[in-house]
Structure 1
Amino acid sequence: MGIWDVNQKTFYLRNNQLVAGYLQGPNTKLEEKIDVVPIEPHAMFLGIHGGKLCLACVKSGDEIKLGLEPVNITDLNSSKEEDKRFAFIRSDSGPTTSFESAACPGWFLCTALETDQPVGLTNTPQDAVQVTKFYFQQDQ
């Protein structure tokens, strides 16, 4: 699946971190496709690198952030409590989609307005400094 934010930034890996930016020319091959395993009508696991790295909501003390964990997406089980951090709830609004963490309600996948910044999670989705709406397209 292709994913890009409403400002047309695509996802790619830099130093083992998922970032969003404008890839041009030969760099377009760095774009990460998102691997999806649906678990409920509106919930899914999200992975990259052929489903070998999965997006997760990671709690560290009072901090909540997006993590990439080396887990095979097909090994995840939605009925296991420890796998809940990998689940995201998809909400469609017209042509755009937002992704809310199932383990951390109220936290949404986001990108920064600036280019080449890490993809993260925000609990202020209305805040103008982050982008929480994405175009999500199944590869034809």
Structure 2
Amino acid sequence: MASGEKSEVPAASETVVDQDMVDWFKELFDEESVVTSHSKPSAAGPESVPEGIEPRRYSLRDIEQKSLYLQDKNLVAAPLQGDNSAQEEILSVLPNRSLDRKRIPLILTVKGGSQGISCGKEGQPKLQLEDKDLIYLFNNNEEAKRFTFFKSYNSSTHTFESASYPGWYLCSPAEAHKPLMLTSDLGGAAITDFYFNRK
């Protein structure tokens, strides 16, 4: 490479723009009809979906291709192949519209949007599932914060930082069949880089 030229491939730690997410946020929140529907509480109540808002579904796999499945009220990571692939849990996702959209704040849920992936309410972060519906959380900004993760992208993998606990990241233990956790040791033994593919 000639002197002064820049590589077009970002370094693994470098965050790049996730254009798909930017376009989705713009589609949801920049259209006049959608903005108008957000300007006042919905007459249909807190469980209603504002016009134009559609949750998205994603698979989440760590860089060792461990998928997610539910076991004893935990979200567990393991390689799922063959007949076991049907156990894979798919995320249902909507933006948290009260937080900085440039940081891609996503409310993460499982079981078709009926359980939220929470960082807990105590002094120390603890990943857990709560019976909170995705649409309810979308319409309740303050409560949604503990279910919200800022997604960063490096052109191939994604990291998810807790909105409630800055510096704590969603992670998968190196050992299979262990529950997802939160870690403050980015780049440590636990896996914090994930593939995030729309279904």
TM-score norm. by structure 2 comes to 0.65
Unaligned runs of 5+ in 2: 1-57
Alignment of 1:76-95 (within 5 A): 76-77=137-138, 80-95=141-156
Deviating beyond 4 angstroms after TM superposition, the runs of 4 or more aligned structure 1 residues are: none
In 1, are the aligned partners of 2:121 and 2:146 still within 8 Å (CA)?
no
Do the aligned residues in 1 keep the contact of 2:162 with 2:170 (CA within 8 Å)?
A: yes
Query: Residue 153 of structure 2 aligns to which amino acid in structure 1?
Result: D
Deviations 1:55-78 (A, max 9, x none): 1111434x3211110010111147
Q: Give the strand-richer structure, 1 or 2.
A: 1
For 2:141 and 2:152, locate their aligned partners in 1 and report how far apart those are by CA, in whole Å: 23
Q: Based on CA coordinates, which of the two structures has the bigger radius of gyration?
A: 2
Q: Does the alignment pair 1:2 with 2:2?
A: no
Distance 2:139 2:154 in 1: 25
Q: 2:128 aligns with which of 67, 80, 86?
A: 67
Residue identity (%): 38
Q: Give the match for residue 113 of structure 1.
A: 174
Q: 1:51 & 1:8 partners in 2: Cα distance?
A: 23
Map 1:23-34 → 2, pairs under 5 A: 23-34=80-91
Aligned residue for 1:131, secondary structure, equals coil
Answer yes or no: is the 8 Å Cα contact 2:95–2:106 preserved in 1: yes
CA shift digits 1:73-123 (9 cap, x unpaired)? 111147632321111100001210000000100000000001000001001
Q: Which runs of 5+ in 1 are unaligned?
A: none
Alignment size in residue pairs:
137
Q: Is residue 135 from structure 1 mapped to residue 182 from structure 2 by the alignment?
A: no
Higher helix share: 2
Q: Matched residues in 2 for 1:78 and 1:72: separation?
A: 10
In structure 2, relative to structure 1, the CA distance for the partners of 1:77 and 1:25 (3 Å cut) is closer
1:17 corresponds to which of 49, 52, 74: 74
The AA in structure 2 aligned to 1:51 is: G
Counterparts of 1:103 and 1:15, CA distance in 2:
25
TM-score (structure 1 length as normaliser): 0.92
From 94, 106, 112, the counterpart of 1:50: 112
- Answer with 103-112 or 33-42: which moved more: 33-42
Paired AA for residue 83 in structure 2: P
Question: Which residue of 165, 172, 188 maps to 1:104?
Answer: 165
Q: CA offset at residue 2 of structure 1?
A: 1.1
